[in-house]
Amino acid sequence: MRIPLVGPAYTERSPDLNAQTCVNLYPVPGGPDGRAVAALYGTPGLTRFSTIGTTPVRGMHVFGGYLLAVSGRTLYRVGADGIATGVGTLNSTAGRVGMADNGRAVMLVDGVNGYLWNGAALTRITDASFPNGASQVAFLGGYFVFDKADGNPGEFMISKLYTTDPTDPGNQFDALDYATAEADPDGLVALAANAGHLWLLGEHTTEVWYHSGAAFPFDPIGGARSDRGCAARWSVAKAGDALLWLSDDRQGRLQVVMTSGQGVQPVSTPALEWEFTGYDSVADATAYAYQEGGHLFYVLTFPREDATWVFDVSTNMWHRRGGWSAPAWTRHWGEVYARFDGGHLVGDYLTGKVYRLDEDAFTDDGAVIRRERVAPVLHADGKALFFRRLEVFAQPGAGPLGDTTPNVLLDWSDDGGRTFGPNLEGSLGGAGDFGARLTWWRLGTSRRRNFRVVVTDPVRVVLMGAEADVEVGSS
């Protein structure tokens, strides 16, 4: 009997119906004529790139050949060698920092003030027309666009068109250069520039505006409106030519949605949406997106719930990432993201460390990564199942680990994923032992069973499926 070991995370509200987990593993299609239709690959580990402070990394942006990152109240400039230099001071110490650049300068907003970095100095914006309190900024068509925190619901503001003077880029504002996303009277939660359009995400609705070239250069696109709002400002992330975010509507349905053209479509599963509704808070959710090996990942973290969920746009499947603090999973360490010097960098949500997402690293900066897959339930309409043998097909020859070889742990649940046992070990083989097999014998009997495979050793993990010798009883 083939066991569908490869698959996404899908735990229903009743585990008796579906109790699948997929943590720190993600499904990958096997391609034409492969050994298996698909496999589970281990998610990347974290290697230290830089330490920029002692408090959480609040934002990152690449400009002028350097990584700009904020920790505490300090703006740091980080080179490709990871050396960080403090180059400016903000008037806040916590909370996310939004950044965007116009090719000549970077605008930063921290929910208190606005700032401009021109590559040499950080200057607080003191123009009386600038609305302090902005928390997000984008750049589109020559203009910085940012939320107008001191205005009416739905208002946003723009800078003047950038000047040709490189010593004075973008720092001109007019108090009348604002507009309102007014197709619906809900408040503006987030804004983003994507594919030449300005997306304005309200509490319950979304509007798309375009660069019209009028006196106020942006106007709404007729009919480009959705009754899906934004439940979490920092859940908005650009993935390829699309935006994804955690949405909400007037009926209270929480979904992850993705743009398609000027429309919006849900990509979360009903099981995951049920998970979201059980969270005490979702407004603090944060997200980023990155591409690796032909897969486009949207990484969504719920800080208060200590959970990170990842959507693979390339396969339309979800998995979970994070640490393990028995008996519960914790969130992934990455909070903010930047693509820099050919690598994917994430800033730590607790410390001032910046890490590289590394497919060839098998720990999180030295910490153990627990990888887990709970397969779908096996049953025969209530008849007894006698499990003679189980083989897991994995990539062998990954060791050694000192004087030992890396192991895979196998256990199972006969009660719908509520409890597991008895924790049996199998070897992935030593280095170069490409003939090693993962086989277990005499696994007992049950009327339903979920097998679980766990790997905690720091090795490359590829799981291609499983097969069991099972006898079905008469009753």
- Percent pLDDT > 70 in the chain is 97
Nearest 5°: phi and psi at 53? Answer: 175, -165
Predicted confidence (pLDDT) per residue in 15-50, tens digit: 999 999 999 999 999 988 778 899 999 999 999 999
Predicted confidence (pLDDT) per residue in 161-185, tens digit: 885 344 455 558 888 999 998 777 7
Q: 401 with 326, same domain?
A: no
Q: 24 with 138, same domain?
A: no
Single residue among 361, 388, 423 that ends a domain in this structure: 361
pTM as predicted: 0.95
Q: CB–CB of 99/137 below 8 Å?
A: yes
| Identity of residue 342 | G
Q: CB–CB of 246/254 below 8 Å?
A: yes
Q: 400 with 436, same domain?
A: yes
Tally of structural domains, the chain: 2
Domain contains 377: yes
Domain contains 366: no
pLDDT, residue 329, reads 97
Single residue among 305, 329, 361 that ends a domain in this structure: 361
Return the number of other C-beta atoms located less than 10 Å from residue 65's C-beta.
11
Return the number of other C-beta atoms located less than 10 Å from residue 296's C-beta.
17
Which CATH number does the domain housing residue 382 bear? 2.60.120.260
Q: 26 with 71, same domain?
A: no
Residue length, the chain? 475
Q: 52 with 123, same domain?
A: yes
Q: How far apart are CA 153 and CA 324, in angstroms?
A: 41
Which CATH number does the domain housing residue 317 bear? 2.130.10.10
Domain contains 28: yes
Q: 137 with 238, same domain?
A: yes
Question: Which domain range does residue 388 map to?
Answer: 2-43+372-472
Q: 353 with 441, same domain?
A: no
Domain contains 245: yes
Q: 442 with 402, same domain?
A: yes
Assign residue 150 a region (left: φ > 0; alpha: ψ between -120 and 50; beta: otherwise): alpha
Task: For 258-271, give one letter per residue: b (16+ CB within 10 A) or e.
Answer: bbeebebeebbbeb
Burial of 32 (0-12, 13-18, 19+ CB in 10 A): exposed
Low-confidence ranges of the chain (pLDDT < 50): 164-167
Domain contains 367: no
Task: For 412-449, give one letter per residue: b (16+ CB within 10 A) or e.
Answer: bbbebbeebeeeeebbbbbeeeeebebebeebeebeeb
Going by C-alpha positions, the residue among 151, 146, 156, 111 that lies closest to residue 132 is 111
Domain contains 274: yes
Q: How far apart are CA 281 and CA 251, in angstroms?
A: 17
Single residue among 301, 333, 361 that ends a domain in this structure: 361
Q: 135 with 250, same domain?
A: yes
DSSP helix/strand/coil, 413: strand
Q: How far apart are CA 412 and CA 443, in angstroms?
A: 9
Q: CB–CB of 278/272 below 8 Å?
A: no
Q: 319 with 215, same domain?
A: yes
Q: Which residues contact 137 (CB under 8 A, 6 or more apart)?
A: 98, 99, 100, 107, 108, 109, 114, 144, 145, 146
Q: 297 with 405, same domain?
A: no
Alpha helices in 229-329 (DSSP H): 270-277
pLDDT, residue 166, reads 42
Q: CB–CB of 77/67 below 8 Å?
A: yes
Q: How far apart are CA 398 and CA 148, in angstroms?
A: 54
Q: Is the peptide bond before 131 cis (omega within 30 degrees of 0)?
A: no
Q: 140 with 38, same domain?
A: no
Going by C-alpha positions, the residue among 317, 350, 321 that lies closest to residue 336 is 350
Domain contains 237: yes
